Structure 1
Amino acid sequence: MMAMMDHLLVVPVLLPLATAALMLLLGEGRRGLKAVVNVLSTTLGLAVAVSLLLGVAGRDAPAAFGVYLPGNWPVPFGIVLVADRLSALMVVLTGCVGLASLLYALARWQHAGVYFHVLFQLQLMGLYGAFLTADLFNLFVFFEVLLAASYGLLLHGGGGARVRAGLHYIAINLVASMLFLIGVAVLYGVTGTLNMADIAQKLPAVPVSDRGLLHAGAAILAIAFLAKAGLWPLNFWLPPAYAAASAPSAAVFAILTKVGVYAVLRLWTLCFPADAGASAGFGSEVLVWGGIVTLAFGAVGMLASQQLARLAGYAVIASSGTLIAAIGFDAPVLNGGALFYLASSTLAGCALFLLVELLERVRQVEVDPQDLDDGNGALPAFLDAEPLPGTNLDDNEEALVGRVIPAALAFLGIAFAVCALVTAGLPPLSGFVAKLAMLSALLEQSTPAAWALFVLLILSGLFGAIALMRVGMRHFWTAQDRPPPRLRVIETLPIAGLLAASVALVLQAESGLAYTRAAAESLHAPHLYIDAVMGARPIVRTPGVTP
């Protein structure tokens, strides 16, 4: 059973690659067939991701790792794929976000470009690979795959706004990729390896004369990761880019910033633990205070945003700042709550980006007088009738009793309310559970930085609640004279699924927190990861014997 789970590690990478190749062979037409193939492949990828999560969750340390050697080369010379609790969680989130975004795109956005389905699968391949790889060079490769696909998805649909935002997005990510390569080269020059576990194993033996070069390479690499994670002041590109992207593309982008957060969390806890000697906790203050400033910037940006799409972008920045600050404290209990918050904010952010287009559709619908005309220039009887005596009236002397809320508006209102509660961290949903876990852990720190983050977590929730309430009033309370928008089931189904997952996090909060805390404890015991990776052995094949 364990060996079978280890072999499943390569499926999330190969499946999207094979699907993208197949759809390229189908040519530019056959979009219906491509859509079916894309949905089946993405669904299968999510099922495999869930199997990986259940597999690692069912194991106890030190066996809570799945390790696979795709080329059957010994460590650290070949490619290594690793699944632990953190990477399995990220892979499941990628599958959820990917499937929801794809289903939404089937309504209309798949028709806006020829290679949408191909780019979408390459995006998933890059995301899955980045979360599962165990060496820096392949992390760079998967980064570039997902970024190249994101360039096409950001420009998907055309338009001047997308082109301008896309150019900024491409420029900042090309610079970050260059820094990534420089940082990797420096670390390779110091340690002689690119395998993450091997780097962590060799760091204590780095001579004092090379320690400064080691820290310089780690800092350059961190800048690349933090730029992708949206750390202030490197996040100026994020709100306009995410706001300009099509709804399904922006929804996928909700997890792109988490790739940078994941890379920082993985490498920082692996290479600079408390027992790393002179390098112990390197850069922790930068992470803490940089995350705090980013959280404050995102909260103020949410409050100042007049457009829902930009507000959603600033919400992504606020969530990244929260996670980066929590990482810097090097506290397993705090990081356990932060990982629960990561799952909650990612699902809510994806749903919010999908809702943006539907809510804007409410404001764009205009009343056609002919729809209210019975052909004789008079209103229909049920609209022209006088209210009955004793009927409650609103400010316009119109009857309140018997007024029916259209199903489309009811769905949008409930979905937006749930998204707002999760994003702002208000009870009783998953955002509140995550923030409460982090606030409780911060009370045990008793440092100025901990108190600053404690206060900002509360204020950011208040600012987010005010901003989202204002947007809700604009879209729902002032839309009385507009007919309800027309929604397709394929557009509402993925939003409902994401919100149902957020509700499930609340219903299973105890199990969820236990899982994320176990993931955090594993991260803060880096020897478990090192032993699992360095202990992997290639399969020895005997001639004439089938393995």
Structure 2
Amino acid sequence: MIAATEHLLVAPVLLPLGTAALMLMLGEGRRRTKAAINTASTALGLALAIWLLLRVQAGGPAAFGVYLPGNWPVPFGIVLVADPLAAFMAVLAGAVGLAALLYALARWQHAGVYFHVLFQLQLMGLYGAFLTGDLFNLFVFFEVLLAASYGLLLHGGGIARVRAGLHYIAINLFASLLFLIGVALLYGVTGTLNMADIADKLSLVADRDRGLLHAGAAILAIAFLAKAALWPLNFWLPPAYGAASAPAAAVFAILTKVGVYAVLRLWTLCFPADAGSSAGFGGTVLIWGGLATLAFGAIGMLASQQLNRLAGFSVIASSGTLVAAIGFDAPALSSGALFYLASSTLAGCALYLLVELLERARQVPEGPEDWDDGNYALPAFLDAEPPRGINLDDNEEELIGRAIPAALAFLGVAFTLCAMVIAGLPPFSGFVSKLAMLGALLELRGAAAWTLFALLIVSGLFAAISLMRVGMRHFWTTQDRPAPRLRVAETLPIAALLGAALLMVGQAETVLGYTRATADSLHEPQRYIDAVRGAITVPHPSVRGGTP
């Protein structure tokens, strides 16, 4: 990156940090001001992430942006790295964050005093986790995003959120402990925490220390996979995400992908095919653990009777698909998996936002004032008699020719698109990604490849069946139910997320071209190592001939 703009690499991390500090100084009031600041900052963060992606893409396969915040040479100081994968994930985080925030502005921002502050800290942790180049700061950013997620999960209060929040906090604190133990073991063996430096020094590890190296890597992987909701460490996810408020759950849709990202980054960097006795370490565990998680998520979707739990199991199934794909260590499969990562995250975020609107549409308000306060009566139509005539309602009036209310039409179309993307039905982005992965699996063959091939198809079928059942419950039993009332701030982000998924189909070749280049760079880790270790510090002004 050129000197005039190289400092922008750290901007996605500093921007939400500064925004959160500013909003804290504003006190507990001024919510409209905070909402405006939060929206502007989140939009600017997304713009910066897109700029990073475009700069990396324009630079070709070997393009890496490396920034040394403390101006210490590698590996002694903090380093931020914008490579194709990091930029890709940063854009995804910014898009999900902006959509969730716009949705929250309709009502959920009023449920807690520090919502906007926690939201910005969540974005800071996400951006930092994707851009950092060393394990210690990865741990720091993990804890920042997790601490913010604790507050966002409890946002709005209620017994269900507190109960689910305690389980969520407990499992993540345990995973953080494992994270520290794994980092300590790796540091003891390699003497460094810089990811590129660790990968460069693995070949120098003595045979007597190889077991300790593998133990540290395994413990670290357990911490990441617990956060990625790998079976059997994912019991906490459906109740926790289901109890969270809609905008918080939408942001959480990408939190599990942080664990997947960490596994993908470190496994391809440290255990490539040319790593000697450590080559592909743990790959079999990733494959079969991912397959078990995918099967568990698919069965969970089929068994779920509540839409919020179904959404949680769909997140689990997507994590299982990605982890299994990583374990095969195949660039073509990784390319399709990255396309699937973006598609499933956008659809999962949209589904969590739709959950609240669909449940609200099933309830009958007692009066006009209840629409504003969010208080709804229990649905009185559940025990109603079915229509007695064909194409007639309970009053024997013809149903044919009646106009569908705009709000109900929007919910129906949005839910249908979301369901088709999640199920992987053509011609949407979920189908494109699964087709790319299926084609790569045909080249790999083997029992594990055929198992993933079958599970991708079966899980899509299970998802279609379960989502169709939910759709019938919400849209085919609407007698005596008034048309739902939706706000623009609630519908716009859902439409934008699904629009992005549709845009991925229209630009499928371009997106797949980017994911192929990203997968190639991941499976050739020497590019990353050379870029980071070749980062040059800025000379002191006196050395450059300036004033000291």
Give the TM bin, normalised by the shorter chain: over 0.9
Distance of aligned partners of 1:125 and 1:492 in 2 relative to their CA distance in 1, 3 Å threshold: same
Structure 2 equivalent of residue 508 of structure 1? 507
Structure 2 equivalent of residue 316 of structure 1? 315
Give the conservation status (yes or no) of the 8 Å contact 1:56–1:83. yes
Q: How much has 1:402 moved relative to structure 2?
A: 2.2
Cα distance in structure 1, aligned partners of 2:495 and 2:236: 30
Give the conservation status (yes or no) of the 8 Å contact 1:183–1:221. yes
Structure 1 equivalent of residue 546 of structure 2? 545
Give the conservation status (yes or no) of the 8 Å contact 2:12–2:45. yes
Report the residue type matching 2:56 in the other structure: V
Q: How much has 1:2 moved relative to structure 2?
A: 3.4
Q: How much has 1:400 moved relative to structure 2?
A: 3.1
Cα distance in structure 1, aligned partners of 2:444 and 2:392: 52
Number of aligned positions between the proteins = 525
Structure 1 equivalent of residue 433 of structure 2? 434
3-state SS of 2:66 partner: strand
Give the conservation status (yes or no) of the 8 Å contact 2:393–2:399. no
Structure 1 equivalent of residue 391 of structure 2? 393
Distance of aligned partners of 1:531 and 1:162 in 2 relative to their CA distance in 1, 3 Å threshold: same
Cα distance in structure 1, aligned partners of 2:102 and 2:404: 26
Alignment of structure 1 residues 115-514 onto 2, 5 Å: 115-365=114-364, 393-394=391-392, 397-514=396-513
Structure 2 equivalent of residue 46 of structure 1? 46
Give the conservation status (yes or no) of the 8 Å contact 1:56–1:85. yes
Cα distance in structure 1, aligned partners of 2:408 and 2:157: 29
Q: How much has 1:479 moved relative to structure 2?
A: 1.2
Cα distance in structure 2, aligned partners of 1:546 and 1:495: 54
Cα distance in structure 1, aligned partners of 2:69 and 2:461: 48
Report the residue type matching 2:40 in the other structure: L
Cα distance in structure 2, aligned partners of 1:43 and 1:33: 16
Structure 1 equivalent of residue 8 of structure 2? 8
Q: How much has 1:5 moved relative to structure 2?
A: 4.7
Structure 1 equivalent of residue 27 of structure 2? 27
Structure 2 equivalent of residue 519 of structure 1? 518
Give the conservation status (yes or no) of the 8 Å contact 1:367–1:482. no
Distance of aligned partners of 1:368 and 1:399 in 2 relative to their CA distance in 1, 3 Å threshold: farther
Structure 1 equivalent of residue 372 of structure 2? none
Identity across the alignment (%): 78
Structure 2 equivalent of residue 385 of structure 1? none
Q: How much has 1:4 moved relative to structure 2?
A: 4.3
Give the conservation status (yes or no) of the 8 Å contact 1:392–1:401. no
Q: How much has 1:394 moved relative to structure 2?
A: 4.2
Q: How much has 1:61 moved relative to structure 2?
A: 2.8
3-state SS of 2:308 partner: helix
3-state SS of 1:193 partner: coil
Report the residue type matching 2:18 in the other structure: A
Give the conservation status (yes or no) of the 8 Å contact 2:246–2:356. yes
Give the conservation status (yes or no) of the 8 Å contact 1:5–1:52. no
What is the TM-score with the length of structure 2 in the denominator? 0.94
Give the conservation status (yes or no) of the 8 Å contact 1:367–1:481. no
3-state SS of 1:266 partner: helix
Q: Which runs of 5+ in 1 are unaligned?
A: 370-390
The one-character-per-residue Cα deviations of 1:281-336 (angstroms, maximum 9, x if unpaired) are: 00000000000000000000000001100000000000000000000000000000
Report the residue type matching 1:141 in the other structure: V
Quick check: 461-470 or 537-546, which moved more?
537-546
Report the residue type matching 1:422 in the other structure: V
Cα distance in structure 1, aligned partners of 2:299 and 2:25: 48
The one-character-per-residue Cα deviations of 1:46-77 (angstroms, maximum 9, x if unpaired) are: 00000001110111232x11111111110000
Cα distance in structure 2, aligned partners of 1:497 and 1:135: 34
3-state SS of 2:443 partner: coil
Q: Which runs of 5+ in 2 are unaligned?
A: 369-388
Structure 1 equivalent of residue 379 of structure 2? none
Q: How much has 1:367 moved relative to structure 2?
A: 8.2
Give the conservation status (yes or no) of the 8 Å contact 1:5–1:66. no
The one-character-per-residue Cα deviations of 1:465-504 (angstroms, maximum 9, x if unpaired) are: 0000000000011013201111000000000100100000
Give the conservation status (yes or no) of the 8 Å contact 1:429–1:502. yes
Cα distance in structure 2, aligned partners of 1:40 and 1:267: 34
Cα distance in structure 2, aligned partners of 1:104 and 1:222: 34
Give the conservation status (yes or no) of the 8 Å contact 1:10–1:68. yes
The one-character-per-residue Cα deviations of 1:146-171 (angstroms, maximum 9, x if unpaired) are: 00000000000000000000000000
